[in-house]
């Protein structure tokens, strides 16, 4: 069975805590939170769940532990309609748990425990066959933290005729795009945020950032700027798409929702500007609810949101 999108990357447990100010010292032993929610997260897990809600058939390739945490992650993702046949249950591995502290503005800080799959996960490249898009959650982070781990995926995807999309994350002491130049030539769309892109390219100006990415052979550089919108660059096109102004409840996973929306629009045959517009709307819908992949319910919901702004 083939899928519209195969996502590769992280799947973790998210503990979402809203309304606790960690900057102030505890007066009492116990402090009340506004809310606490247990859910799943991780770049590829978020993308796969949101894509499924947008009506896109999706498979997730990731790794989890063999215990209760791994079972929780796998079962919950499966319950959202994502194919989980290639979520591997790994020996000697602790699935990550991410505690997300959400402030009143919806911005968040993370407390992270556990290990990322890394070399524990042996990817089944056959699982990529037939995908219209192969999506890498975050280059630079296990299980796709090195050129050696990314190259077989993107090369196989292109040999299969798939579109290749990838986000990227900068880890202190980790990779820059220069270390992935063999892999980047196979990637059609890269989706870093501007801060990460500056670190990954070692450039500051957004035009220089984009030029550096494109010079590695990437087809499209899509540079996210959160509440300020996004830039999209090809070798002969440059455009800016402003963000929709909404009251943010939780910005966790906004970039993953953006990428999911963009991929959905690609599959719908939209041009670059309309892909950016739909992606920006998907992210705006997502941040109006607690959770990295809970705000978006359907493609129609996103389209209705766009109509309220006079756009579709």
Contact residues for 305 (Cβ-Cβ < 8 A; gap 6+): 244, 281, 284, 285
> Residue written as tokens 């705000």?
295
Interatomic CA distance for residues 149 and 166, integer angstroms: 13
**Pair 60, 48: CB distance under 8 Å:** yes
Class of the CATH-defined domain 5-308: alpha beta
111-165, pLDDT tens digit by residue?
Answer: 888 777 665 678 889 999 999 999 999 999 889 999 999 999 999 999 999 999 9
The per-residue pLDDT for range 235-249, each reduced to its tens digit, is 999 999 999 999 999
| Model pTM score | 0.93
Q: Please provide residue 89's backbone torsions phi and psi, each rounded to the nearest 5 degrees.
A: -95, 115
Residues of the chain with pLDDT under 70: 26-27, 117-120, 311-312
CB-count exposure of residue 293 (10 Å: 0-12, 13-18, 19+): buried
Domain locations in the chain as residue ranges: 5-308
DSSP state of 141: B
pLDDT value for 50: 99
pLDDT tens, residue by residue, 246-263: 999 989 899 999 999 999
CA distance 222 to 237: 12
Q: How far is CA 90 from CA 48, 60, 87, 115, in A?
A: 20, 15, 9, 12
Q: Bridge-partner residues for 189, per DSSP?
A: 165, 220
For residue 118, the model assigns a pLDDT of 61
The dihedral through the CA atoms of 265, 269, 272, 274 has a sign that is negative
Residue 130 tokens, joined: 């037939």
């Amino acid at each position: 069975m083939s899928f519209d999108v195969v996502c590769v990357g992280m799947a973790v447990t998210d503990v979402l805590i809203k309304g606790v100010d960690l900057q102030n010292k505890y007066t009492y032993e116990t402090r009340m939170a506004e809310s606490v929610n247990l859910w799943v997260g991780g770049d590829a897990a978020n993308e796969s769940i949101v894509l499924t809600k947008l009506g896109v058939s999706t498979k997730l390739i990731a790794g989890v532990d063999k215990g209760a945490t791994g079972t929780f992650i796998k079962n919950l993702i499966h319950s959202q309609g994502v194919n989980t046949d290639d979520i591997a249950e790994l020996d000697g591995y602790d699935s990550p748990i991410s505690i997300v502290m959400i402030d009143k503005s919806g911005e968040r800080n993370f407390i992270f425990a556990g290990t990322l799959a890394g070399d524990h996960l042996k990817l089944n490249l056959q699982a990529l066959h037939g995908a219209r898009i192969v999506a890498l959650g975050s280059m630079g982070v296990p299980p796709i933290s090195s050129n050696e781990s990314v190259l077989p995926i993107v090369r196989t995807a292109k040999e299969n005729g798939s579109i290749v999309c990838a986000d990227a994350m900068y880890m202190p002491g980790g990779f820059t795009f220069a270390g992935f130049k063999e892999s980047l030539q196979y990637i059609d769309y890269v989706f870093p945020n501007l801060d990460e892109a500056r670190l990954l390219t070692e450039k500051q100006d957004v035009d220089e950032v984009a030029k550096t990415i494109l010079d590695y052979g990437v087809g499209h550089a899509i540079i996210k700027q959160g509440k300020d919108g996004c830039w999209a660059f090809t070798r002969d096109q440059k455009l800016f798409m402003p963000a929709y102004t909404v009251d943010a409840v939780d910005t966790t996973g906004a970039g993953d929702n953006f990428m999911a929306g963009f991929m959905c629009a690609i599959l719908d045959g939209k041009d670059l500007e309309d892909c950016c517009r739909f992606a920006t709307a998907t992210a705006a819908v997502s941040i109006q609810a607690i959770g990295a992949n809970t705000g978006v319910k359907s493609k129609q919901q996103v389209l209705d949101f766009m109509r309220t702004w006079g756009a579709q």
